[in-house]
Structure 1
Amino acid sequence: MKRSRSNPARTPSENALQVRFWGVRGSIPTPGRSTLRHGGNTSCVEVRWRKTLIALDAGTGIRMLGSRLGEEFRGRAIDLTLLLTHTHWDHIQGFPFFRPAYKAKNRITVLGGHGTKRGIRDLLNDQMESPFFPVGLRDLPSSISIRPLPPSPFFIGEIRVEAIRVNHPGFCVGYRLFTPERSIAYFPDNELAKRLTPQTPVRLTDERLREFIRGVDLLIMDTQYDRSSYADHAGWGHGCLDDVVRLATAAEARRLCLFHHDPEHDDAKIDLMLKHARDLTRRLGSGMRVSAAKEGAVLAFS
């Protein structure tokens, strides 16, 4: 039996660890013909196992997740936990458009760190304040609990969660989520320590990151730049494709998913980066599967 499959048209079994991509782009949404295949919405990934429902980040992709949940639950209460990696706009800007937040019977728990001395509630509230948005966070009728991340590990339903701080401006974390048999890791914004400039603090060494993700079934990771474009963006807090492939193979990840696509990269460019990543994986002697994140794609791990 295959360890995973990608098929948006099929519904995986409830016992499978399911991952669906709703937003895969970094920095800013990129609508248009040239990004249709991979998608232009910013970061949002849905994770399900049994009755536990988690959203990773609330970029513009969370709007479509909310619409889909409304169709699925048809008035039944939705209990969802939103795990934020950080509060840069491309990871929170979809939350004001998340339809389940506008239904009184729904329960939404938001967990995350903060990018300033202010709390995460204040930061989420700011983007919904007048004159930026017509509905304030305090006016949403759903039951919304916003809390700082608890110490790792912690549980969301039956899923065990570990968080680790990463190399990205401000407060930013990556996550690893565990079921008894499978695990996924989500690192949408991270720059490897070996590439950091001397002026940039190292919050996560490459060795510690490698051990944190070792043996993971699915690694969703920031590969915003290729080798040619990375030189102009060193220290920005984003990954270089070659570095990430080498890290993932060294950590014996079973599958790598390229994520946080650069807004300047169209579908053809992402295809070229994917081909390069697969070629490099083979040259390294690894059997790791490599794919590029696409909106709507589903991965299931039984």
Structure 2
Amino acid sequence: MKIEDEHAASTRPAAEALPLVTIVALCYNHAQFLAEALDSILVQTYPNLEVILVDDASTDASPAILERYAAANPTWQLLLLPQNLGNCAAFNRAYRQSQGGFLIDFATDDVLLPNRITQQVAAFQQLEPSYGVVYSDAELIDEHSRLVRRHYRRDARGRLHPQPASGDVFADVLSRYFISTPTMLMRRATLNDLGGYDETLAYEDFDFWVRAARNWQFHFLNEVTTRKRLHAASMSRRGYRPNDPFLASTIQVCRKALMLCRTPAERAALAVRLRWEMRQAVRWHNFPEARELYRLLQKTTRPHLVDWVLSQWAKVGGFARG
């Protein structure tokens, strides 16, 4: 070993001096992508990791692949769930037996870039303890791992769109989507505060953002740390279709958000979200849900004329379908 290499090695912090980070690797029928995802854990430059592999009753070859990686990496834990629990409950199973001071909810159709955890832990170490989440930019990739684009687009002046927010982001997460969920590193104390994910919901991120942002700050790290997979079976591709199970969860989260709002500005931010969700519900003929969103909107602000028109359209549409 060269002298400069020896010096670099001697100045790196020992693994045990760094906070433990838990990667909860959640799998459901990801056999096609699983090796790439798990290999991306193996090449992380951050040394102090706890890895928990969770298979949510996959019906493809995923369990066999997970068993092979667990056998090759004896420190990794493996949970093969006998019944499909859904993302929220499956994550909670691993979270409750984990030890890390920070956690990553890692869907195994995505890919971690090698410096992901090193960069995010370093960011946390520069922040106040009031920060519960560090998130970043991501590359969006297709089924063949080809780059599609980045999560944040840049305009001619280099500004990011959607504009990320840092600090107190409660009103921001009420009014708009801007966080790339797979990029989040979460503080364990934040998850403990929330009791983990809400297992009554069909998806986790919107609810987590709302409840966590009420009392914790978020930090945007302007780095690409993750490759997010776009494919036909991904959850993001199933939203707003007729009989969408996620829409009922969105309404449930909006009810929680209304109870957490403290100021007129926060209620106005929630109204922006409710209007957008109501339009999507009407567009996809989810008329009962559109009417419920309108009722929530009435509790946040005085509805606009177009809001009332959409609510009447939803009422007529519901009668027609009935």
| TM-score for the superposition, normalised by structure 1 | 0.31
Higher relative contact order (CA 8 A, sep 6+): 1
| TM-score for the superposition, normalised by structure 2 | 0.29
